[in-house]
Structure formats: structure tokens, C-alpha cells
Amino acid sequence: MRFSNRLMLSATTVLALTGLAVPATATTCVTLDQGHVDVVGIAWEDNAFNLHVHDEEHGVEHTPAEVQLIAKPGSQIAVPDDAAYSFLGTPGSAAWVLPQVQDPELLWPGIGAEEIASGIFTNDALKVTLVGVTGPADFSIFTTDAFGTPTRIADSGNGLPDTINTTAGGHLHANWAFEAAGTYKLKFKVSGTLAATGQKVTSTVATYTFQVQK
Ligand SMILES: [Zn+2]
């Protein structure tokens, strides 16, 4: 666990006061089941990408391996009777969707690159790639427009990898959908081209664990 630079002082103070100071190297298991969490939090530090889970509610960052992300039972929906949603399963079958628009009872997962300054990467462009999913069923990320029409931006159901384009300073919330309850491992990497040298740089693959609850 580590703290966002901008909040380090206050967070450290709080921990010191409550006697819960945790060494930076400690492996803790943190469970996050509600609130604003940029699951794929992207930073560029010491000439390398740093992928972390950014808990925006508490201003805390965690390494992906120390976090259990939860899709609570309340995220279960019935797949709409609409061909545009057939990628989630047959109409009426169960799916679990963490929604694009925040529901305060549920985890609100995002992809955040606000920590990356403009000008480091060519055109400020970053690619977030879903390279693999293991779990009991398919996982997808889709946006919905004002009419409720979905657009898939990643889906393990039709082959991976899938790449989501974002930018330095960018911040994206979409629907994160699971087609069965159980434990999923989502593997993401991030890449970009350094503006100064033209060198393409890619992060190591980060694995995120989701528990989808019936
Ligand atoms: Zn966010």
C-alpha cells in the first residue's frame, strides 16, 4: 500500500494517530466493494509504468496483488431482451454489472491516467490492453450512451487482447460486466510511445482479482 503523493502527509498523519502505520513493503489484503476506485490506475515513475489500484474514496493506492475487488450481489442484473446486449448472454439470464454511472452501494471501477503529465507520451496517447481473463465466464467492459445502447470496448468473449485508448490525464468509467459469479483474474498492461525518443514502452502485466458474489 502506498499513498498518493498529494495526500501522503495527511494520510500518514492519520495512520500515525491511529497506530496503524504500515510499512511500504507490507503485503496486506484489502477488500474494496464500493466507492470510486480506479482499478487500472496508471502512473509513470522512474522511467517505468506503475499500475496500481487507486482508491479515490480514501486517497490510497494499492498494488494490484494486494486487493480483492468485489462485485456485490446487488450488481446482478437480468440480461436485457435487446440484441445489442446479446454479448452478455441470453435475455433474462444473470449477469453482474458494475455500472458506468456510480451507484453508491457498488464498486465504481475506472481507468485513470490523471497522474501522467501531458507531453511525456506522443500525442499523450496511452493504450490499456486487456491481455487475459481467467474465471468462470466472460468479462467485458462497455460504455452506454444516453439511450442505453452499449458499445463494447473489451470482451473476453470474442477473443483477447482488446485495447482501450486513453490519454495522459484521462479518466474513463464504463460498465464492467461478468457473466457468472465466482473469482476472476483480469490481466492488463499499458503502453505508450515516449515523445522525447520515440521509444515504445510497455508495463509489466498487472493481475487484478475480482470476486463476483451471487
Ligand atoms: Zn475514476
pLDDT tens-digit map of 41-69: 999 999 999 999 999 999 999 999 999 99
Task: Assess if residue 24 is contained within a domain.
Answer: no
- Would you say residue 2 lies in a domain? no
Residue 16 covered by a domain:
no
Distance 174 CA to ligand 1 centre (A): 10
Q: Is residue 14 part of a domain?
A: no
Q: Is residue 13 part of a domain?
A: no
**Domain containing 50: what range?**
30-212
Q: Report yes or no on 69 lying in a domain.
A: yes
* Structural domains counted in the chain: 1
| Domain annotation covers residue 4 | no
**DSSP track, 52-90:** EEEETTTTEEE-GGGEEEEE-GGGEEEPPSSGGGGGG-S
Q: Give residue 213 CA to ligand 1 midpoint distance, Å.
A: 22
State in Å: Cα 166 to ligand 1 middle. 13
pLDDT value of position 207: 98
Per residue in 107-130, pLDDT (tens digit) is 999 999 999 999 999 999 999 999
Tens digit of pLDDT for each residue in 185-203?
A: 999 999 999 999 999 999 9
11, part of any domain: no
Residue 48's SS3 state is strand
